[in-house]
Structure 1
Amino acid sequence: MENRMAMTQLTSQMGKLLRDRFGKGPESIYVSANEVCVSMHFRQFVSVVEKIMLQQNKDEAVRDTRQLVMDLIVPEFKALILRTLGLELQHIYYDWNLDNHSGIMIGLVDSSLFDRYQESYRGKEYIHRQVERISAEAEKMPDAMHSFWTNARTLVIVRSGILIKLEKELLRAGYEPALRVAKRALEKSLLVTEVDMIEALGRTSDGIYLDWKFDQDQSIIVFTFPSETST
């Protein structure tokens, strides 16, 4: 469904939006879309001030600051996607790899479409099995899970129904930031060590990104890859 002119326009306008809000935009943005998802992969996205903060091991301070700015950008991003691609996004997710200054932004259309949008690809059964096992180890087995490629470099996994009662109580008590930090560290560690992308896809991932919509009990995992080798 990708239109090259629309994608070029979207990339340009998103770059401007990030520069206007952050003072510096990414060196490159890789944009793709399908019927249920829009993905944006940012490379070399870090300001001078953020570099200094990262050198002082203030990673969470950088994440907190970016979240404040991204909260302002999300409505503009949704409007931009509707205007350029004609897609009305339901949820926006994002995460950063602060070690290599990259990031991912995922916009999901109505999740009720997932059951109709089923994609078969090499290694899918293995990946789903491992992610289910990791989810059960870290929290609980997902009630539902879907995965799809938005392009040859970006694999998106959507999980629903993974929060346990203790996590829901922590959220009600106002501990969302701490819960997010703990879950990101635990799940990324498990995904790195227990999902063998060489075995599944014959490829090496160059990035793993996670985000949650706790009020919806929904989460995304994104694996990125360094080239557009066919899946």
Structure 2
Amino acid sequence: MAVNDSKVYAQISSYIGRLIREKFGKGPTSVYVTIKHPYMTIYLKDFLAPMERVLLEKGEKKRVEETRDVLMEELLPEIMCKLEEIVSIKVKDLHYDWNLENRSGIIFGCIPEGTSHEHRAVSPLPAEVEGPFYKEINEASKRGQKMPERTEVFVLNDRTILTKRTGILVNVEKELIKNQFTEELKLTKRPMEKRLIDQGKLEDILGKDIDDTFVDWNFDQDIGYFVFITTSKKET
């Protein structure tokens, strides 16, 4: 079965929605799936459990993030197995992030080499956009830590842009990871890296509005990701 078959996307959407509802007490209203080698994304809309809403109203955002991290780390192996069953590929390095204010979230993963014969490939950025976009991503990384050793950009569809930055960790971060403070590091870096992105500048470069910005890392491999969810510029 070809992975761009809408029935496959519907199966994945149904499974993810049901799983999250079972584990969190409330599932997302909408789940959007995209598979373009070498990545897949699962974008969640309108996802916030009643208890989480109460905690956010009390200023307990960190507690919500910590709880979600615990649950997601438990769910990721199960999700990977189910994706392999549905799509007949072994997705690796599953990641996730949330925008609690927007009640949205992302789950994304890498599709290994050698499993791409049925996959449409990602597209590059338009030539006139590519240079300025790369420059802004690299500058954002430099403002927070250091210039990436390598930056790659993948356009998965007309709304989703994924960036992969390799070689971004500074020595103090590596020491924290070595001493198993990865959760604390992640909770600190999430809001910081999002603040470092000049959203207005990226929107001008892309000619689009950015609805959501997500981040996650593979600390073992010194890799950081941004995922941008965009829409057409609103008329003013």
Q: Deviations over 1:64-100 (max 9, x none)?
A: 1011111121112111221222221120111110111
Quote how far apart the aligned CAs of 1:117 are: 6.4
In structure 2, the residue matched to 1:213 is 218
The 5 Å alignment of 1:140-155 reads: 140-155=146-161
In structure 1, the residue matched to 2:196 is 190
The 5 Å alignment of 1:43-192 reads: 43-110=45-112, 119-121=124-126, 123-191=129-197
In structure 2, the residue matched to 1:16 is 18
The question of whether the paired residues in 2 share the 8 Å contact of 1:93 and 1:220 is answered with: no
Quote how far apart the aligned CAs of 1:172 are: 2.2
In structure 1, the residue matched to 2:118 is none
Distance 2:38 2:87 in 1: 12
Show structure 1 runs of 4+ deviating over 6 A: none
Quote how far apart the aligned CAs of 1:16 are: 1.1
State TM-score, norm by structure 1. 0.89
The question of whether the paired residues in 2 share the 8 Å contact of 1:132 and 1:141 is answered with: yes
Pair 1:8–1:227, CA change in 2 (3 A): farther
Tell me the secondary structure at the aligned position of residue 182 of structure 1: helix
Distance 2:200 2:86 in 1: 36
Quote how far apart the aligned CAs of 1:203 are: 0.6
How many percent identity over aligned positions? Answer: 29
Is 1:34 the counterpart of 2:39? The answer is: no
Residue 223 of structure 1 aligns to which amino acid in structure 2?
F
Distance 2:62 2:138 in 1: 28
Quote how far apart the aligned CAs of 1:137 are: 2.1
The question of whether the paired residues in 1 share the 8 Å contact of 2:28 and 2:45 is answered with: yes
Aligned residues: 226
In structure 2, the residue matched to 1:199 is 204
Distance 1:73 1:177 in 2: 16
Pair 1:96–1:18, CA change in 2 (3 A): same
Quote how far apart the aligned CAs of 1:47 are: 0.7
Pair 1:58–1:166, CA change in 2 (3 A): same
Quote how far apart the aligned CAs of 1:103 are: 0.5
Tell me the secondary structure at the aligned position of residue 205 of structure 1: strand
The question of whether the paired residues in 1 share the 8 Å contact of 2:143 and 2:196 is answered with: no
Distance 1:108 1:29 in 2: 19
Distance 2:122 2:209 in 1: 26
Q: Deviations over 1:28-67 (max 9, x none)?
A: 1111111111101111101110000010111110011011
Residue 72 of structure 2 aligns to which amino acid in structure 1?
M
Quote how far apart the aligned CAs of 1:227 are: 5.7
Distance 2:27 2:208 in 1: 29
Distance 2:123 2:5 in 1: 22
Distance 1:7 1:67 in 2: 25
Residue 8 of structure 1 aligns to which amino acid in structure 2?
A
Distance 2:21 2:191 in 1: 29
Distance 2:58 2:205 in 1: 37
